[in-house]
Each structure stands twice: as C-alpha cells, then as structure tokens.
Amino acid sequence: MKAPEEPLQAEITDIADETYDTKTFTVSYSDAKAQKKFSFVPGQFMMVSIFGYGEIPISISSSPYKTESMRFTVVNVGNVTNAMHRLRKGDKIGLRGPYGNGFPLQKFRKKNIVFVTGGCGLAPLRSAIYAVQAKQSEFGKKFILFGCRTPANILFPDDQKKWAEEGFAVLSTVDRCDANWKGNTGVVTCLFDKAELPVENTVVLVCGPASMMKFSLIELRKKGFKNTQLYASLERVMQCGMGFCAHCNIGNKYTCVHGPVFSAKDLGEMPVEEE
C-alpha cells in the first residue's frame, strides 16, 4: 500500500559549496524514466527526504529547461538540512513533487520583470531567472535586486555576473559590510531608487525572509506598483505538500497548493494572523 507521502529515490550527483552555510545539490531520480517524465514550473518545490531524519520542502533552483537533473540550494539551519549538508556525492535521498503553483511566467511576457530577493530567497527565484534568461526576447527590461546579511552570504556570484553580462540590471547590497566591500550597504529596499524601476508594464517577484518581503511590498506600493503587479513566494511549515496535513494554511489558502507564489492581491485578501 502506498501513502501519498512515499518518496521516490534519487541520487546526489554533485554538491557545490555556495557560501559557508549554503550548498547546492544536483539530484536526479534513480529511475531514469521518472527523471525523463519530470518537469516543473519555476517557483515550485519538492519534498526532499533525508532518510532517518525527515522531510522538508525545498524550492528547485535550477532551470526549468534543464530537467535531466534538478538542483536544490540549501542553507544549513535545521536538523534535516544539517543532515543533508553531511551527505556526499552518490548518496541517496527521497523526492516527491513538484508541488505548489510556481510563478505564472506566461502571464509576464512582454513585461519588464524585477526580481527582489533576500538571502537564500534567491534560490527559488534563480529558476525563474534562468527561465527568463533562456527567452530574453520575450521580456522587457530585467532587474535583479539582491540583498543579504554580509558579503560572505552572497549567493551565486558567478550567475550574478553572467546575468549582468546578458542584459539584466543586477544590483546588490549587504546589511553589514566588511573592509573589502565596495558595494551598497543597507536593506534591499534601498535599491529600489537606485535601480530606477519602471512602474508601467512591470511585474515584481519577491522572495526572502518574511519581514524583508513585507517591507519590500510596502515600499513597492509606495513607488506606485499595484497589487496585481507584485508577486511573493512564501515559506510555511509543510509536512505533506499536498493540502492534506493543514500545517501551511494562511486563512483559507494552503501555501503548498494555492501557493507558495501569491500575488500581492491574494496576500492583501488574506487575514493577518498576528502582528
């Protein structure tokens, strides 16, 4: 008998160190057929099992056009991610998914697109950025605004360089700088002015810590963006990923099924649990 929570096995084919606490795992299903059938929308997530430790939701950080494997960028914060960080190439993990709605990139064609990210929030957005990068001509102006705590937390520097070369306006800032840092200092919202974001015909995708998203949306609205132009990807506790376990609901919405990507319009209609 099969529970819907039973994962398929997958192999870690590569591990890359991103920062002192972040690694990117390249993973593919052990069953070649399952991998061949696999496709996803940027912004969707997988339930990743580390056998003996548990299961957590992780967004896919690789390109939706390269599905011979998938990548997960994971920060070492909890027991399961800690165990994952101790795995080696060739180790087996469990996977099920993809779950969630993902970014409606189809709807964004012909528009300017802005990615606002905080810390490891760049990981779920990277998949969307790759998708835009692959079909550049379909989009208008492209911006990536990246904020993180310290220069040591900067994620995907090589990617960021490449995106800048390929016509994305890439701006980054750190909360606390060190002696070698010559870039911007301050929270990510201070980049909004610098970037001179066009409001007309633009969509903004936001992903990062809860408070960073909250203040980004507030500042963006002040710039004249309408709720229908703003999208955020949320984080909640998830046990099943399929709308069963009821851990991730916000008001009448399940983050795992109706999200994790919500428009600011949806978010505005959600009741606020607590202040």
**In the complex with other proteins, which residue's Cβ is closer, 80 or 169?**
80
Which ranges in the chain belong to alpha helices (H)? 32-37, 79-85, 122-134, 157-165, 191-195, 210-222, 264-269
Kindly state whether residue 267 participates in binding other proteins, applying the rule CB under 8 A: no
Q: What count of other Cβ atoms lies within 10 Å of the Cβ of residue 52?
A: 6
Which of 52, 137, 179, 180 is close enough to bind other proteins by CB under 8 A?
Answer: 52
Q: Shortest distance, CB of residue 38 to other proteins, whole angstroms?
A: 15
* Sign of the CA dihedral running 237, 243, 244, 246: positive
Which of 28, 35, 69, 81 is close enough to bind other proteins by CB under 8 A?
Answer: 81
Residues 153-192 interacting with other proteins (rule: CB under 8 A)? none
Query: Which of 87-95, 105-113, 157-165, 221-229 is the region at the interface with other proteins (rule: CB under 8 A)?
Result: 87-95
Q: Residues 203-232: x/- map of binding to other proteins (CB under 8 A)?
A: -------x----------------------
Kindly state whether residue 101 participates in binding other proteins, applying the rule CB under 8 A: no
Q: What does each C-alpha distance from 271 to 39, 51, 211, 250 come to in angstroms?
A: 33, 36, 17, 7
- The span from the CA of 48 to the CA of 221, in Å, is 35
Which of 13, 79, 201, 228 is close enough to bind other proteins by CB under 8 A?
Answer: 79
Q: Could you tell me which of 129, 113, 133, 104 has the C-alpha nearest to residue 261? A: 104
Which of 14, 17, 30, 223 is close enough to bind other proteins by CB under 8 A?
Answer: 30
**In the complex with other proteins, which residue's Cβ is closer, 153 or 160?**
153
Q: What does each C-alpha distance from 14 to 89, 178, 220 come to in angstroms?
A: 6, 31, 38
- The span from the CA of 60 to the CA of 96, in Å, is 12
Contact 46, 72 (CB under 8 A): yes
Which of 32, 77, 152, 218 is close enough to bind other proteins by CB under 8 A?
Answer: 77
* Amino acid letter for position 215: F
Q: Shortest distance, CB of residue 57 to other proteins, whole angstroms?
A: 10
Contact 15, 23 (CB under 8 A): yes
**In the complex with other proteins, which residue's Cβ is closer, 98 or 133?**
98
Kindly state whether residue 51 participates in binding other proteins, applying the rule CB under 8 A: yes
Q: Shortest distance, CB of residue 35 to other proteins, whole angstroms?
A: 15
Q: What does each C-alpha distance from 232 to 5, 105, 151, 179 come to in angstroms?
A: 27, 13, 24, 33
- The span from the CA of 27 to the CA of 14, in Å, is 7
Which of 170, 240, 261, 267 is close enough to bind other proteins by CB under 8 A?
Answer: 240
Q: Could you tell me which of 4, 1, 2 has the C-alpha nearest to residue 257? A: 4
Q: Shortest distance, CB of residue 41 to other proteins, whole angstroms?
A: 15
Which of 36, 237, 265, 268 is close enough to bind other proteins by CB under 8 A?
Answer: 237
Q: Which residues bind other proteins (CB under 8 A)?
A: 1-6, 9, 30, 49-55, 77-79, 81-83, 86-87, 92, 94, 99, 210, 235-237, 239-240, 242-247, 249-252, 271-274
